[in-house]
Amino acid sequence: MGFARRVPEAVIDAVDFSKTMIEHGRSKAKRRGLSNRLTFHVADALELPFSSGSFDVVCSSFGLRTLPDYRRGIEEMTRVARAGARILILEFEPPPRTLFGRLYGWYLRSAMPFVGTALSGFRASYVYLYESIARFPNPENLLALMAECGLAGCECERLSGGIACLFRGTKRG
């Protein structure tokens, strides 16, 4: 939604594996007056329902780490991007090796599952969040993987004290 608000001329195809998330996105877009610019698809990120070279920008927000195969996910994003298109991946990363990182790691591993379970009753979701972040590749390894998948100019920008990272690359032409 943020991209749609910031880039008024953008026409956006939103994809999620979960029908519930797509329904939530649809109602959110309607409330914000963005329905005419967003099309929602229930689909697997490893087999996107789009022709090769369809998009000027391809983004993933906190979804790559949930895939069973990071390489295939990036390859699929690259496939649907046109030559010269930007690929953007916003993702949590393992906590940095700082005092803040150690505190954040403890919070993810211990406090968040406790609080999340108390509020929602679903402990497994919060344990999965920690586990998926902990096993996600470090930025250097993900940048190398992006380059192997056909992206040039790969870089990352650490955000929120190093707990998230915005990865950028451009599809080679």
Rounded Cα distance between 48 and 69, Å, is 14
What predicted TM-score, i.e. pTM, was given to this entire model?
0.91
Instruction: Give the 3-state secondary structure of residue 137.
Output: coil
Q: Report how far apart the first and last C-alpha atoms of the chain are (Å, whole number).
A: 29
What confidence category does residue 30 fall into, taking pLDDT thresholds of 50, 70 and 90?
Answer: very high
Q: What is the dihedral of CA 154, 69, 13, 30, to 10 degrees?
A: -110
CB-CB contact of 56 with 33 (8 Å): no
Residues in the chain: 173
What confidence category does residue 98 fall into, taking pLDDT thresholds of 50, 70 and 90?
Answer: confident
Rounded Cα distance between 93 and 160, Å, is 11
Q: Could you give the percent of the chain with pLDDT greater than 70?
A: 100
Placement of tokens 């007056």 in the chain: 33
Structural domains of the chain, ranges and CATH numbers in brackets? 2-93+137-171 (3.40.50.150), 94-135 (no CATH)
